[in-house]
């Protein structure tokens, strides 16, 4: 992978993460704008439970009363752990680590989670075609 490809996809990831977290705190208020900017239309999001969600199911989940995001300052992209561009620069796989704070159906979740993404370069723009979040672990208190 070239230095330019590496920088472009990392920058795209950082922009996506900030916009995604902000959207979550607004209960999906600008869902369509974020989805259109960062996701392929037929993207699948796999939750830690293993349940796949397409666009409308994801919108329903984040805008429901079942999910409440909290500790805005604590939400962070900890690291981009790997990024491999392939298919002549038209696709990439990435793993990253994030800290995320939310309540789901009343249960508090303060998680450090690993996520894998598959990106596709569509019309010169990197978009997510597959998103898979692993089960979170406790966030280390020593950092």
- Residue 53's pLDDT is 96
- Residue 143's pLDDT is 64
pLDDT tens digits for range 75-100: 999 999 999 999 999 999 999 999 99
pLDDT confidence tier of residue 129, bands split at 50, 70 and 90: very high
CA 25 centroid distance within chain: 14
pLDDT confidence tier of residue 3, bands split at 50, 70 and 90: confident
Enumerate long-range contacts of 28-37, CB under 8 Å, 24 or more apart. Answer: 28/59, 28/62, 28/63, 31/59, 31/62, 31/63, 35/59
pLDDT confidence tier of residue 11, bands split at 50, 70 and 90: very high
Distance between CA 80 and CA 112 in Å, rounded? 13
Mean pLDDT of the chain: 92
Q: If DSSP codes are grouped into helix, strand and coil, which group holds residue 50?
A: coil
Which secondary structure element, helix H or strand E, spans residue 61, and what is its range?
helix 55-63
Hunting for tokens 């020593």 — which residue is that?
Answer: 142
- Residue 1's pLDDT is 52
- Residue 72's pLDDT is 83
pLDDT tens digits for range 39-67: 999 999 999 999 999 999 999 998 999 98
Flag whether pLDDT at 2 surpasses 70. Answer: no
CA 101 centroid distance within chain: 14
**Taking residues 16-28, what's their average pLDDT?**
90
């Amino acid at each position: 992978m070239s230095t330019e490809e590496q920088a472009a996809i990392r920058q795209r990831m950082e922009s996506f993460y900030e916009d995604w977290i902000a959207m979550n705190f607004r209960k999906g208020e600008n869902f369509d704008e974020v989805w259109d900017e960062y996701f392929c239309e037929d993207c699948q999001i796999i939750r830690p439970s293993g349940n796949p969600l397409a666009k409308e199911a994801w919108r329903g989940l984040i805008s429901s009363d079942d999910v409440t995001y909290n500790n805005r300052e604590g939400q962070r992209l900890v690291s981009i752990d790997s990024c491999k561009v392939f298919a002549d620069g038209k696709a990439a796989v990435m793993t990253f680590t994030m800290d995320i704070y939310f309540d789901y159906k009343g249960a508090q979740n303060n998680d450090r989670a690993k996520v894998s993404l598959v990106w596709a370069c569509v019309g010169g723009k990197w978009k997510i075609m597959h998103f898979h979040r692993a089960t979170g672990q406790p966030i280390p208190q020593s950092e």
